[in-house]
């Protein structure tokens, strides 16, 4: 049965199917965005609940995942806005600026990055850059798709992606080097 | 285009697709540019590394929480509740169950997910309110279709085996004979409801996980041969026609609350039916509001109806200050009535301890807090109070309500007394009964002092009310669901074999006998309730601690038990609350078990150490003790130990430090310091000395002040042992100050809560007239040295005192305390000039609780502090106390009073008063004074070996006593007969010797009365019993 139909027919069964099919992917994305596991779980929880409540708004001709993902991003941005009301915006700008400092080594190898090291590196990025990491490296979205999902011009996506990559590589530099030396 | 521009395009291309073809013109460039090829190669490698790294890092992070889907469905239900109307629906859920049972016949659980449909789709229309569907006569109608369908399946299920893969949910499974369940590794089998008529044992094997949510089998035992076993959050009561109640109040469903905040407390002005049918509960005019309880049960929220309150408060002075919360229901059924027919109803509730203990604070016997009342009043609970539970109903109550009472699954009589703690009531009223203005919490009754109309006095978890009568099968399932949801999934016995895992993080188990062997582990939060714990190996947790809390805390869960209970403890464990209605608490195992404020009559310590005290504080924000030197950090300054940190006894991260208000805002010349530790300030115990007053006009004082590292909000009960500096009391600075000089404050807010006037030689009043009302109104009570006082005017007198205060009314926290609470501060005016002062007192011990303590615990803590710091008498009474050889009972803060003490090991108590003392073995040590009661009996022997030494700090025999040698003492002592060869200076008239077999020549007994007590010395062949 189509997942939309299933949700309409029985919310709990729909919830079970959502969890079974999308938990892994959505939780991974959510964790990149939120950094902490409780917040990530909460974000997924709200996303699933909202998907069930708003199932009538889902267009079956579109991929369900994309729709679900858009809900997740909306919630995440809403949370950010709420947080930013309390924390000065400069902090975020500062974080992005920090990622611009220093250029990583020109030569890169192909290391197998340690999962924990990657998580730490991602967690160090500001929210907007984490969002690009999710979309590009977790969801394998193109620049155009990212632009649409993030609701910013392609140019901005590109620059953010650049900053994110630079930030990651800076954090991962040690890992790159270490792995590189080993091989 | 140059290479730089190409590289920008390469970068973009990679961002579009890592593996796809690059655009033709880039490829053309790459064909002849080795550097750009190298660049592409490096960049692509980098992208792929990141792509794979990120995916590895964030994929399969963890499995979804087991109950996620259910919680989501619940959330959805709550949010869409308003859209649904008053419709009852019928769903063919049992058809699903029956279908799954076909699979059972093959002994294999089909992987079909059989899920309780929580949400009913709108459209179908079922039974309307009040319609008596298959009600009174209980024909084998729709309600009983379940067992009928299941009976058609194989009666006994010899083996269940989970199928591939993942998670399978079975709604209902009948288990009528011993059953094996196999859950393969990686699989989870959740059984929502297990039922059957016979006692059965379910053995689970396989590496997977078995979860059982509810069961109505009275005698269900589970053996976990391997793999994991877990409690599971039970599904909500189904909403189909069979189960849907007419009215349900669910304290855990905060979405149904309308909350009004007052003084920091969330009062409930309205609670709508938990199933969204439009009915609601609201306060009955003239009474108090219930409120959201701070306490939780099985992780779920509760509604506290507050302490009992008497409407005609003159009848019980002790009941004038209660909250007296009460609900009446409204808008029942399509016509929106406030009355309804009544069939079966269920309550999960507890009577508040302060109701049960009411006599202790001056009340007389009175009728207990009512659960479901009527107007005019019937359904009246019976008498209680004074430490006993309440009976269910009075003799003279409405006859139709007392015939079908089930308490915790057992049918009981209406005069059964309900023990402390939470219970599940199932009741059925006489056919044709109805409730007019149904009231929850209201009762009336006469007492020795007159008619009382009271409300409040209990804490409610859930009330499920049916307008019709249920079939037995349905009632049992509702009962089982409520039991599991609130009180824990009930098991007769649980055995965990080697390597098995018990996960109690989801919901509570209530287990009769628990047997954990070998390397079995218990993980999760502390959701265990068991009568008896048998451990057969020490590897349950690291370091020999029985860590049911996943190693995060040494705390065991609150323990409740009936009958004899045995606790085998290997490491150090602590239990905050032990409630036992009767019988014996037995401690085995070499470890130490600490009990806080236990309620039990008999204690046996067979091995290890049992420590009993009111002072192991779990929920306090702070417990500070100036005697505990290792909790105090200081630096030497001016020859004093100037305190830099005073840490909590339990948690070093909680601490007080010298105030940051170094200078007072309106007078920068005032210098405030930390206190210092006195070597011997008062009596024999060091105190924290806050020095003499300092303020702007007389800066020669010390002016100590401490502030907490945590924000302190919502405090309820606070205790302090303190002493005002005599020189402060005598303070008459200059000619203008003195008589209206405000006293040193024990706890202060920055601008409030200061002591009243004093000085000029008189002591200070406890509080100043402008202190916040929350200190004095409602339950804002003050006790000094264990006696309730009128706080605003009471003057303490000299010396050390114990201060105890309950802040605000009905459990309300006082928010003004947030972050500004300081010890030793006094901030107010002297005479006409506004000045702040600090210091002026010494503090010995401080306890602060966020919970509202029961009166009994509050009095016990106060008593312990009084005994410890002021030498006051403080007695805890037991029936029998027994300490085996080599075992230790610590009872440091109170006099132990027992009918009978059997002492083979060590008993450390302030003093011991017993009617009879038995010394069954050698080596008894009594670290405290011993008093044998009037007509007391001292029994010595039989001993398998030599007598050792009973050391006591002093022995006194009140009135006539008997010292008796029990058994054939001659045999046990060197094969000889003995006789008393010498007695001298016996000046304890009335002591009778009964030593029939004390013949022979080897034993020498000397009784001597000295100024500080009676001394008895026996000696023979090197064996000595001596009291000194």
Do B884 and B905 lie in a common domain? yes
Q: Which residue out of A75, A118, A124, A138 would a mutagenesis test of the B interface target, given it has the greatest number of B Cβ atoms within 10 Å? A: A118
Question: Is residue B842 one of the residues assigned to a domain?
Answer: yes
Phi and psi at B336, nearest 5°, equal: 65, 40
Q: Do B62 and A169 touch (CB under 8 A)?
A: no
CATH of A1-87, one of 3.30.70.360, 3.30.720.110, 1.10.1740.10, 3.40.50.1470: 1.10.1740.10
Do B751 and B893 lie in a common domain? no
Beta carbons of B516 and B522 less than 8 angstroms apart: yes
- In this predicted structure, which of A39-48, B393-402, B828-837, B971-980 has the lowest mean pLDDT? B971-980
Q: Does B396 score more than 70 pLDDT?
A: no
More confident site: B952 or A76: A76
Question: Is residue B440 one of the residues assigned to a domain?
Answer: yes
* Predicted pLDDT at B271: 92
* Predicted pLDDT at B356: 78
Do B754 and B889 lie in a common domain? no
Three-state helix/strand/coil letters over B618-662? CCEEEEEECCCHHHEEEEEECCEEEEEEEECCCCCCCEEEECCCC
| A–B CB contacts, 8 A cutoff, strictly below | 139
Shortest Cα–Cα distance, A35 to chain B (Å)? 11
Q: How far apart (Å, rounded) are the C-alpha atoms in residues A85 and B246?
A: 45
Do B667 and B728 lie in a common domain? yes
Q: Does B56 score more than 50 pLDDT?
A: yes
Cα R_g (chain B), whole angstroms: 35
Three-state helix/strand/coil letters over B98-123? HHHHHHHHCCCECCCCCCCCCCCCCC
Two structure tokens written together for B709: 């590292």
Do B799 and B888 lie in a common domain? no
Select the residue of B49, B72, B121 nearest A48 (Cβ to Cβ).
Answer: B72
B65 contacts in A (CB within 8 Å)?
Answer: 41
* Predicted pLDDT at B528: 55
The residue behind tokens 């999308």 is A22
The residue behind tokens 């026609």 is B241
Q: How far apart (Å, rounded) are the C-alpha atoms in residues A108 and A126?
A: 24
- Chain A residue nearest residue B48, CA to CA: A110
Two structure tokens written together for B837: 């002062």
Q: Do A118 and B12 touch (CB under 8 A)?
A: no
Q: Do B56 and A18 touch (CB under 8 A)?
A: no
Q: Do B121 and A112 touch (CB under 8 A)?
A: no
Q: Does B737 score more than 50 pLDDT?
A: no
Q: Who's near B85: CB < 8 A, 6+ residues apart?
A: B122, B278
For the segment B972-1001, the average pLDDT, to the nearest whole number, is 37
Q: Which of B942, B946, B873 is nearest to B902 (CA)?
A: B942
Mean pLDDT estimate for chain A: 73
The residue behind tokens 């902090």 is A91
Domain boundaries of chain A, sorted by first residue = 1-87, 88-183
pLDDT in tens, A117-172: 788 788 788 888 888 888 888 777 888 888 888 888 888 888 888 888 888 887 77
pLDDT in tens, B612-625: 888 765 556 688 88
Q: Which of B213, B163, B160, B168 is nearest to B184 (CA)?
A: B163
More confident site: B164 or B401: B401
Q: How far apart (Å, rounded) are the C-alpha atoms in residues A68 and B72?
A: 15
Q: Do A53 and B80 touch (CB under 8 A)?
A: yes
What domain count does chain B have? 4
| Three-state SS at B101 | helix
- Chain A residue nearest residue B77, CA to CA: A11
* Predicted pLDDT at B992: 45
Q: How far apart (Å, rounded) are the C-alpha atoms in residues A10 and B718?
A: 52
- Chain A residue nearest residue B62, CA to CA: A24
Question: Is residue B843 one of the residues assigned to a domain?
Answer: yes
Q: How far apart (Å, rounded) are the C-alpha atoms in residues B940 and B304?
A: 52
- In this predicted structure, which of A81-90, B351-360, B538-547, B870-879 has the lowest mean pLDDT? B538-547
More confident site: B307 or A97: B307
Beta carbons of B918 and B901 less than 8 angstroms apart: yes
Q: Do A143 and B59 touch (CB under 8 A)?
A: no
Select the residue of B42, B52, B69 nearest A16 (Cβ to Cβ).
Answer: B69
pLDDT in tens, B548-585: 322 223 334 445 554 556 666 656 666 655 555 556 77
Three-state helix/strand/coil letters over B708-736? ECCCCCCCCEEEEEEEECHHHHCCCCCCC
Q: Does B834 score more than 50 pLDDT?
A: no
Q: How far apart (Å, rounded) are the C-alpha atoms in residues B903 and B943?
A: 12
Candidate ranges B162-166, B238-242, B965-969, B1014-1018; pick with highest mean pLDDT: B238-242
- In this predicted structure, which of B195-209, B375-389, B979-993 has the lowest mean pLDDT? B979-993
Q: Does B249 score more than 90 pLDDT?
A: yes
For the segment B524-538, the average pLDDT, to the nearest whole number, is 49
B53 contacts in A (CB within 8 Å)?
Answer: 112-113, 115, 118, 137, 172
Select the residue of A11, A23, A109 nearest B119 (Cβ to Cβ).
Answer: A11
For the segment B782-811, the average pLDDT, to the nearest whole number, is 76
- Domain boundary among the residues B834, B866, B898 is at B866
For the segment B928-950, the average pLDDT, to the nearest whole number, is 54
Do B760 and B802 lie in a common domain? yes
- Domain boundary among the residues B430, B456, B482 is at B456
* Predicted pLDDT at B224: 92
For the segment B273-301, the average pLDDT, to the nearest whole number, is 85
Q: Does A87 score more than 60 pLDDT?
A: no
Reading across the β-sheet that carries B1004-1010, which strands appear in turn? B1004-1010, B1013-1020, B1023-1026
Question: Cα B414 vs. chain centroid, distance in angstroms?
Answer: 28
Q: Which of B410, B415, B418 is nearest to B390 (CA)?
A: B418
- Chain B residue nearest residue A164, CA to CA: B50
Tell me B128's DSSP state: P
Tell me B752's DSSP state: S
Q: How far apart (Å, rounded) are the C-alpha atoms in residues B211 and B193?
A: 10
A122 contacts in B (CB within 8 Å)?
Answer: 54, 57
* Predicted pLDDT at B802: 93
Q: Do B68 and A15 touch (CB under 8 A)?
A: yes
Q: How far apart (Å, rounded) are the C-alpha atoms in residues B570 and B577?
A: 19
Percent of chain B with pLDDT strictly greater than 70:
56
Query: If residue A73 lies in a helix (H) or strand (E), which one and from where to where?
Result: helix A64-86
Beta carbons of B483 and B503 less than 8 angstroms apart: no
B167 contacts in A (CB within 8 Å)?
Answer: 20
Q: Does B990 score more than 80 pLDDT?
A: no
Do B882 and B852 lie in a common domain? no
Phi and psi at B956, nearest 5°, equal: -135, 140
Mean pLDDT estimate for chain B: 68
Beta carbons of B910 and B937 less than 8 angstroms apart: no
- Chain B residue nearest residue A53, CA to CA: B76
* Predicted pLDDT at B839: 76
| Three-state SS at A13 | helix
Write out the residue range of the structural domain in which residue B353 sits.
Answer: 247-456
CATH of A88-183, one of 1.20.1050.10, 3.90.650.10, 1.10.10.10, 1.20.1730.10: 1.10.10.10
Q: Who's near B140: CB < 8 A, 6+ residues apart?
A: B148
Query: If residue B463 lies in a helix (H) or strand (E), which one and from where to where?
Result: strand B458-465
Q: Who's near A138: CB < 8 A, 6+ residues apart?
A: A28, A29, A32, B54, B55, B58
Assign B890 a pLDDT band (cuts: 50, 70, 90): very high
Question: Is residue B139 one of the residues assigned to a domain?
Answer: no
B847-859 per-residue burial string, b: 16 or more CB within 10 A, e: under 16: bbbebbbbbbbbb
B15-44 per-residue burial string, b: 16 or more CB within 10 A, e: under 16: beebeeebeeebeebbeeeeebeebbeebb
The residue behind tokens 């993942």 is B166
Do B716 and B791 lie in a common domain? yes
The two beta strands, B458-465 and B344-351, are antiparallel
Beta carbons of B522 and B553 less than 8 angstroms apart: no
Q: Who's near B627: CB < 8 A, 6+ residues apart?
A: B685, B686, B844, B845
| Count of CA atoms in the C-beta half-sphere (13 A) of B924 | 29
Q: How far apart (Å, rounded) are the C-alpha atoms in residues B704 and B712?
A: 20
Question: Is residue B756 one of the residues assigned to a domain?
Answer: yes
Select the residue of A53, A108, A136 nearest B76 (Cβ to Cβ).
Answer: A53
A41 contacts in B (CB within 8 Å)?
Answer: 65
Assign B406 a pLDDT band (cuts: 50, 70, 90): very high
Tally of helices (H runs) and strands (E runs) in chain A:
9, 0
Two structure tokens written together for B146: 């379940």
- Chain B residue nearest residue A55, CA to CA: B76
Question: Is residue B42 one of the residues assigned to a domain?
Answer: yes
Q: Who's near B405: CB < 8 A, 6+ residues apart?
A: B392, B393, B411, B412, B413, B414, B416, B425, B426, B427
Q: Do B15 and A23 touch (CB under 8 A)?
A: no
Q: Which residue out of B18, B19, B69, B240 would a mutagenesis test of the A interface target, given it has the greatest number of A Cβ atoms within 10 Å? A: B69
Beta carbons of B453 and B369 less than 8 angstroms apart: no
Tally of helices (H runs) and strands (E runs) in chain B:
11, 73
Q: Do A53 and B12 touch (CB under 8 A)?
A: no
More confident site: B543 or B253: B253
More confident site: B694 or A11: A11
Assign B348 a pLDDT band (cuts: 50, 70, 90): very high
* Predicted pLDDT at B488: 84
Q: Does B808 score more than 80 pLDDT?
A: no
Question: DSSP string of A43-54?
Answer: HHHHHHHHHHHT
Do B800 and B910 lie in a common domain? no
Q: Do A12 and B58 touch (CB under 8 A)?
A: no
Percent of chain B with pLDDT strictly greater than 90:
9
* Predicted pLDDT at A162: 85
* Predicted pLDDT at B888: 93
Q: How far apart (Å, rounded) are the C-alpha atoms in residues B232 and B484?
A: 9
- Domain boundary among the residues B423, B456, B489 is at B456
Assign B220 a pLDDT band (cuts: 50, 70, 90): very high
pLDDT in tens, B655-685: 888 766 544 444 555 566 778 888 654 557 8
More confident site: B667 or B44: B44
A143 contacts in B (CB within 8 Å)?
Answer: 12, 15-16
B58 contacts in A (CB within 8 Å)?
Answer: 28-29, 31-32, 119, 138
Q: How far apart (Å, rounded) are the C-alpha atoms in residues B771 and B179?
A: 67
B52 contacts in A (CB within 8 Å)?
Answer: 112-113
* Predicted pLDDT at B93: 29
* Predicted pLDDT at B582: 52
Shortest Cα–Cα distance, A150 to chain B (Å)? 15
Do B884 and B855 lie in a common domain? no
Beta carbons of B861 and B868 less than 8 angstroms apart: no
Question: Is residue B265 one of the residues assigned to a domain?
Answer: yes
Do B859 and B907 lie in a common domain? no
The two beta strands, B280-283 and B327-330, are antiparallel
Q: Who's near B841: CB < 8 A, 6+ residues apart?
A: B690, B722, B723, B724, B725, B728, B744, B746, B824
| Count of CA atoms in the C-beta half-sphere (13 A) of B910 | 22
Question: Is residue B72 one of the residues assigned to a domain?
Answer: no
Shortest Cα–Cα distance, A99 to chain B (Å)? 16
- Cis before B942 (ω within 30): yes
Tell me B542's DSSP state: G
Assign B969 a pLDDT band (cuts: 50, 70, 90): very low
């Amino acid at each position: 049965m189509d997942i939309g139909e299933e949700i309409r027919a029985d919310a709990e069964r729909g919830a079970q199917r959502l969890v079974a099919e999308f938990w892994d992917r959505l939780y991974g994305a959510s964790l990149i965005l939120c950094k902490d596991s409780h917040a990530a779980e909460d974000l997924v929880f709200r996303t699933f609940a909202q998907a069930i409540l708003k199932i009538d708004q889902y267009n079956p001709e579109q991929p369900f995942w994309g729709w679900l993902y858009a809900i997740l991003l909306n919630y995440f941005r809403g949370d950010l806005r709420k947080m930013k009301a309390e924390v000065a915006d400069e902090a975020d700008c500062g974080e992005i600026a920090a990622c611009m400092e220093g250029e990583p080594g020109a030569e890169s190898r192909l290391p197998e990055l340690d999962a924990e090291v990657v998580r730490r590196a991602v967690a160090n990025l500001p929210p907007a850059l984490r969002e690009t990491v999710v979309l590009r490296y977790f969801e394998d979205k193109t620049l155009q798709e990212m632009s649409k999902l993030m609701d910013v011009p392609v140019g901005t996506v590109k620059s953010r992606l650049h900053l994110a990559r630079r930030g990651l590589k800076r954090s991962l530099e040690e890992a790159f080097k270490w792995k590189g030396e080993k091989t | 285009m140059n290479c730089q521009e190409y590289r920008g395009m390469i970068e973009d291309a990679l961002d579009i697709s890592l593996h796809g073809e690059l655009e033709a013109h880039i490829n053309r460039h790459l064909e002849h540019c080795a550097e750009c090829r190298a660049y592409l190669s490096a960049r692509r490698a980098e992208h792929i590394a990141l792509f794979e790294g990120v995916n590895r890092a964030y994929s399969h992070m963890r499995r979804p929480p087991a109950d996620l889907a259910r919680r989501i469905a619940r959330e959805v239900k709550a949010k869409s509740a308003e859209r649904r109307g008053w419709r009852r629906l019928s769903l063919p859920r049992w058809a699903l169950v029956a279908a799954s049972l076909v699979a059972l016949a093959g002994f294999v659980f089909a992987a079909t997910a059989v899920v309780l449909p929580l949400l009913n789709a709108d459209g179908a229309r079922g039974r309307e309110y009040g319609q008596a569907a298959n009600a009174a006569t209980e024909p084998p109608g729709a309600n009983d279709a379940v067992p009928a369908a299941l009976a058609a399946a194989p009666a006994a299920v010899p083996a269940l085996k989970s199928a591939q893969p993942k998670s399978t949910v079975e709604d209902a499974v009948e288990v009528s004979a011993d059953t094996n369940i196999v859950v393969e590794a990686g699989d989870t089998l959740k059984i929502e409801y297990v039922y059957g008529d016979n006692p059965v044992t379910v053995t689970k094997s396989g590496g997977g996980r078995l979860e059982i949510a509810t069961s109505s089998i009275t005698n269900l035992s589970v053996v976990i041969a391997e793999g994991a076993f877990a409690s599971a959050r039970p599904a909500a009561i189904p909403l189909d026609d069979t189960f849907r109640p007419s009215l349900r109040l669910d304290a855990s469903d905060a979405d149904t609350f309308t909350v009004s905040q007052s003084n920091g407390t969330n009062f409930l002005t309205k609670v709508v039916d938990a199933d969204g049918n439009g009915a609601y509960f609201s306060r009955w005019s003239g009474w108090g509001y219930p409120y959201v309880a701070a306490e939780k049960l099985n992780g779920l929220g509760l509604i506290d109806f507050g302490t009992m309150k008497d409407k005609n408060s003159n009848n019980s002075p002790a009941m004038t200050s209660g909250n007296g919360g009460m609900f009446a229901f409204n808008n029942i059924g399509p016509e929106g009535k406030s009355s309804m027919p009544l069939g079966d109803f269920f309550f999960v509730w507890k009577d508040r301890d302060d109701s049960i203990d009411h006599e202790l604070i001056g009340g007389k016997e009175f009728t207990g807090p009512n659960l479901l009342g009527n107007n005019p009043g019937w359904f009246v609970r019976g008498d209680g109070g004074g430490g006993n539970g309440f009976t269910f109903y009075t003799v003279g109550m409405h006859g139709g309500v007392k015939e079908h009472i089930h308490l915790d699954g057992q049918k009981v009589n209406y005069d059964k007394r309900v023990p402390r703690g939470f219970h599940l009531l199932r009741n059925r009223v006489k056919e044709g009964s109805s409730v007019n203005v149904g009231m929850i919490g209201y009762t009336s009754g006469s007492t020795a002092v007159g008619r009382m109309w009271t409300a409040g006095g209990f804490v409610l978890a859930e009330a499920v009310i049916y307008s019709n009568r249920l079939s037995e099968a349905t009632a049992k399932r509702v009962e089982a669901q409520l039991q599991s949801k609130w009180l824990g999934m009930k098991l007769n016995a649980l055995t965990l074999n080697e390597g098995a895992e018990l996960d109690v993080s989801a919901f509570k188990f209530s287990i009769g006998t628990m047997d954990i062997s070998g390397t079995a582990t218990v993980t999760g939060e502390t959701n265990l309730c068991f009568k008896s714990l048998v451990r057969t190996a020490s590897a349950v947790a690291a370091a020999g601690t029985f860590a049911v809390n996943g190693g995060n805390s040494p705390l065991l869960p609150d323990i409740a038990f009936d009958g004899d209970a045995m606790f085998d403890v290997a490491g150090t464990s602590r239990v905050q609350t032990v409630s036992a209605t009767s019988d014996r608490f037995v401690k085995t195992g070499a470890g130490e078990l600490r009990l806080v404020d236990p309620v039990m009559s008999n204690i046996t310590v067979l091995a290890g150490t049992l420590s009993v005290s009111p002072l192991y504080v779990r929920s306090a924000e702070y417990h500070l003790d100036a005697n505990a030197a290792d909790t105090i950090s200081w630096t030497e300054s001016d020859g004093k130990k100037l305190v830099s940190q005073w840490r909590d006894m339990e948690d070093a991260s909680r601490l007080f430090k010298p105030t940051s208000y170094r200078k007072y805002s309106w007078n920068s010349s005032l210098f405030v310091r930390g206190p210092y530790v006195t070597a011997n300030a008062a009596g024999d115990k060091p105190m924290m000395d806050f020095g003499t007053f300092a303020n702007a006009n007389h800066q020669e004082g010390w002016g100590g002040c401490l502030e907490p590292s945590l924000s302190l909000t919502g405090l309820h009960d606070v205790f302090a042992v303190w002493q005002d500096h005599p020189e402060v009391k005598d303070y008459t600075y200059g000619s203008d100050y003195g008589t209206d000089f405000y006293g040193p404050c024990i706890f202060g807010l920055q601008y409030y809560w200061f002591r009243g006037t004093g000085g000029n030689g008189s002591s200070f009043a406890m509080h100043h007239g402008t202190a916040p009302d929350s200190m004095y109104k409602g339950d804002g009570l003050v006790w000094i040295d264990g006696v309730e006082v009128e706080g605003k005017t009471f003057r303490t007198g000299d010396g050390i005192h114990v201060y105890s205060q309950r802040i605000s009314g009905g459990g309300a926290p006082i928010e003004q305390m947030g972050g500004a609470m300081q010890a030793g501060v006094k901030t107010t005016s002297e005479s006409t000039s506004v000045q702040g002062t600090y210091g002026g007192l010494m503090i010995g011990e401080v306890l602060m609780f966020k919970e509202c303590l029961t009166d009994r615990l509050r009095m016990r803590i106060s008593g312990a502090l009084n005994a410890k710091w002021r030498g006051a008498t403080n007695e805890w009474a037991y029936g029998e106390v027994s300490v085996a050889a080599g075992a230790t009972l610590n009872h440091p803060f109170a006099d132990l009073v027992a009918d009978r003490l059997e002492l083979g090991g060590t008993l450390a108590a302030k003093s011991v008063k017993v009617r009879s003392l038995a010394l069954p073995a050698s080596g008894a040590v009594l670290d405290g004074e011993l008093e044998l009661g009037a007509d007391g009996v001292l029994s010595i022997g039989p001993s398998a070996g030599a007598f050792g030494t009973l050391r006591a700090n002093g022995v006194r025999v009140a009135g006539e006593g008997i010292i008796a040698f029990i058994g054939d003492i001659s045999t046990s002592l060197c094969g000889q007969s003995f006789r008393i060869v010498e007695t001298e200076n016996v000046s304890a008239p009335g002591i009778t010797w009964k030593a029939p077999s004390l013949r022979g020549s080897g034993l020498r007994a000397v009784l001597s009365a000295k100024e500080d007590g009676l001394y008895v010395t026996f000696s023979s062949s090197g064996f000595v019993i001596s009291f000194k």
